[in-house]
């Protein structure tokens, strides 16, 4: 069975594998029509969709003055802002799905390091009308990628920065060449921000190395529901509008933000050891989607046996009216497309989507990559979790999934993707192969202890591949330098797995 052509997500390749099309490795070729031209992070993206769509900024921007403005991400040199460490975002947005107009007012609690008479935030295509720092009007300017702020007087090390802005949100191809940002749907909206879409609707420090807590106050039309990460704090009616307040208390990267507006039902339940479950499904879909809501607790209990206690405060699923193939590990409530779940049945494909994004809550959300090149710490681990759940429900063993992935693996290190390879085979199945080889090398006990310790020690922070490599040697008591050199960092890993330890 083939799905309709994969839109964007390599998850579809994995789905095809589950469905028995193990030879399909055509991620790159299938994405070629929508992908930005290949760039290695230093090659300027001067042609192709990414540089021509408003609100989208290529990974590097020749002549824009903002190249290298960022925090030194080798794949996205413009992202992030030196000296800026956001502690909390108090986000207020008013959204009208008919006019597709967003008005925003965000207050960022920021730690500034060093002596900074000026500092910047990521903001792409926003019309900024006012900025204050500690309540005093500040000078500001915007360009394609940045909001540059000069406070009236020398700022202290902790400041409150308020930005008032508006935007007609764009669903632009990101620097990766697949769309991200704020998507307008019939009667509502959703966001898919990975890797660089948040800045197209929210002034922020748009880099995974800077996690913060959030409050979202979302004002929508009468009868419309708004959902965001975390716990619902309020819902009131004001001047014929609905105001929804959600709060995320766990440190979160900007790319993991969830904002949904539309005709949603919020479905509450309880998971293992009293874990609150909060899901959101379109009212019209509620009955169809109930089986997927119902399996959530069981999936969490399964993964807790291997990955340790669920690392965040709650979980749930949100199923929106996006294009098919969308699946995103938005923190504490993963996002899916109704088109992929319209059958209302737990089949290999829906099991795969659900288990993949749930695994991300440990690997990606609780512990976040410090740099985009560390993406395998997200996608390979989520792919491995998806294999484990597949084995559990009788959709093929981990060993078979790993063998098929190794056989299909194109050359290239999973730890060193180019921008256009961020969501390609070796970030997903190719890196899950590395985890299977590691498991065989150090044994099940050390392997799962490593995964648990990775999350326990690093929950709430952003980490690099080197951090994982170090912890692996420490936990296993083995010098794994040669293992990682061979399996992770080399362009071409061995063609067969090591014998089990
Ligand atoms: N992290 C998602 C996953 O679990 C992929 C998101 C890809 N980004 C995008 N803008 N489509 O596979
Ligand atoms: Zn993923």
Report the chain's C-alpha Rg in angstroms. Answer: 22
> What DSSP string describes 474-493?
HHHTS--HHHHIIIIISSS-
* pLDDT tens track for 239-270: 999 999 999 999 999 999 999 999 999 999 99
Q: Whose CA is nearest to atom 2 of ligand 1?
A: 328
Q: Which of 173, 179, 206, 328 to mutate to test the pocket of ligand 1 (most atoms within 8 A of CB)?
A: 328
Say how far apart CA 199 and CA 208 lie, in whole Å.
13
110: Cβ contacts below 8 Å, ≥ 6 apart? 84, 85, 86, 87, 119, 158, 159, 160, 161
Could you tell me the distance, in angstroms and rounded to a whole number, from the CA of residue 393 to the centre of ligand 2?
20
Q: How far is the CA of 142 from the centre of ligand 2 (A)?
A: 33
Give me the sign of the Cα torsion angle 125, 126, 129, 135. Answer: negative
Cα four-point dihedral sign 314, 317, 323, 326: positive
- CB of 318 within 8 A of CB of 335? yes
User: Domain limits of the chain?
Assistant: 15-78+370-501, 81-206
Q: Which residue has the tokens 């039309």?
A: 221
Residue pair 408/438 in contact by the 8 Å Cβ criterion = no
**Could you say which architecture CATH assigns to the domain 15-78+370-501?**
Orthogonal Bundle (1.10)
Characterize the bridge pairing of strands 171-173 and 139-142: unpaired
Which ligand has an atom closest to residue 10 CA?
A: 1
DSSP annotation of 145: S
Residue ranges, the chain, pLDDT below 70: 1-68, 171-173, 175
* Ligand 1: nearest atom to the Cα of 356: 4
Q: Tell me which residue has its CA closest to atom 4 in ligand 1.
A: 328
Distance CA 430, CA 209 (A): 24
Cα of 422 vs centre of ligand 1, distance in Å, is 9
| CATH of the structural domain 81-206, one choice from 3.20.20.70, 2.60.40.1730, 3.40.640.10, 3.40.50.300 | 2.60.40.1730
Q: Phi and psi dihedrals of 250, rounded to 5?
A: -90, 135
- The token duo for 319 is 């199923």
Residues with CB under 6 A from ligand 1: 8-9, 11, 174, 178, 180, 192, 194, 327-329, 356-357, 360, 379, 382, 423
Alpha helices in 1-70 (DSSP H): 11-18, 27-31, 49-52
The verdict on pTM exceeding 0.85 is yes
Distance CA 374, CA 462 (A): 10
User: H helices of 260-347, where?
Assistant: 286-294, 296-307
Cα 96 to Cα 93, 204, 290: the distances in Å are 10, 22, 29
Atom 9 of ligand 1, nearest CA residue: 194
Q: Fold identical between 15-78+370-501 and 81-206?
A: no
pLDDT score at 51: 27
Residue 265 gets which letter from DSSP?
A: E
Phi-psi group of 132: left, alpha or beta (phi > 0 → left; psi -120 to 50 → alpha; rest → beta):
beta
From the CA of 200, the nearest ligand is 1
Report how far ligand 1's centroid is from the alpha carbon of 329 (Å).
Answer: 8
Start-to-end Cα distance in the chain: 37
**Sign of the dihedral defined by the CA atoms of residues 105, 108, 109, 115, in that order:** negative
Distance 428 CA to ligand 2 centre (A): 7
Q: What digits encode the pLDDT tens for the residues 275-308?
A: 999 999 999 999 999 999 999 999 999 999 999 9
């Amino acid at each position: 069975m083939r799905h309709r052509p994969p839109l964007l997500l390599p998850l579809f390749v994995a789905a095809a594998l589950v469905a028995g099309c193990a030879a399909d490795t055509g991620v790159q070729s299938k994405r070629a029509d929508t992908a930005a031209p290949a760039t290695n992070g230093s090659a300027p993206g001067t042609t192709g969709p990414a540089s021509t769509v408003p609100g989208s900024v290529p990974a590097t921007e020749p002549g824009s003055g903002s190249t290298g403005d960022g925090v030194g991400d080798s794949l996205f040199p413009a992202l992030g802002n030196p000296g800026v460490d956001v502690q909390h975002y108090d986000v207020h947005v008013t959204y009208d799905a008919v006019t597709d107009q967003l008005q925003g007012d965000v207050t960022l609690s920021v730690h500034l390091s060093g002596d900074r008479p000026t500092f910047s935030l990521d903001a792409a295509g926003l019309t900024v009308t006012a900025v204050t720092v500690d309540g005093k009007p500040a000078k500001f300017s915007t360009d394609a990628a940045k909001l540059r702020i000069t406070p009236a007087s020398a700022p202290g090390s902790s400041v409150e920065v308020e930005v008032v802005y508006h935007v007609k949100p764009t669903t632009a191809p990101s620097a990766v060449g697949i769309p991200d940002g704020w998507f307008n749907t019939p009667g509502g909206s959703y966001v898919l921000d990975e890797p660089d879409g948040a800045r197209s609707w929210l002034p922020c420090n748009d880099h995974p190395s800077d996690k913060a807590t959030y409050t979202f106050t979302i004002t929508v039309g009468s009868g419309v529901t708004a959902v965001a990460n975390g716990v619902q704090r309020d819902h009131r009616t004001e001047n014929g509008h609905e105001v929804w307040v959600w709060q995320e208390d766990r440190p979160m990267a900007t790319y993991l933000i969830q904002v949904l507006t539309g005709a949603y039902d919020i479905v509450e339940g309880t998971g293992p050891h009293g874990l609150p479950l909060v899901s959101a499904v379109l009212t019209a879909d509620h009955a169809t989607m109930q089986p997927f809501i119902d399996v959530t607790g069981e999936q969490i209990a399964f993964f807790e046996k291997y990955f340790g206690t669920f690392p965040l405060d709650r979980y749930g699923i949100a199923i929106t009216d996006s294009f098919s193939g969308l699946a995103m590990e938005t923190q504490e409530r993963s996002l899916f497309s109704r088109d992929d779940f319209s059958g209302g049945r737990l089949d290999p494909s829906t099991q795969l989507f659900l288990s993949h994004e749930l695994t991300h809550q440990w690997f990606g959300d609780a512990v976040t990559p410090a740099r985009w090149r560390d993406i395998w710490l997200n996608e390979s681990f989520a792919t491995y979790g998806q294999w484990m759940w597949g084995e559990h429900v009788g959709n093929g063993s981990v060993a078979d999934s790993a063998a098929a992935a190794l056989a299909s693996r194109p050359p290239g290190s999973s730890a060193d993707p180019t921008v256009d390879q961020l969501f390609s085979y070796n970030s997903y199945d190719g890196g899950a192969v590395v985890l299977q080889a590691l498991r065989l090398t150090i044994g099940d006990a050390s392997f799962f202890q490593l995964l648990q310790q990775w999350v326990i020690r690093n929950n709430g922070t952003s980490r690099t591949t080197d951090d994982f490599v170090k912890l692996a040697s420490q936990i296993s008591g083995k010098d794994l330098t040669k293992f990682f050199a061979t399996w992770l960092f080399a362009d071409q890993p061995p063609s067969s797995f090591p014998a089990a330890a």
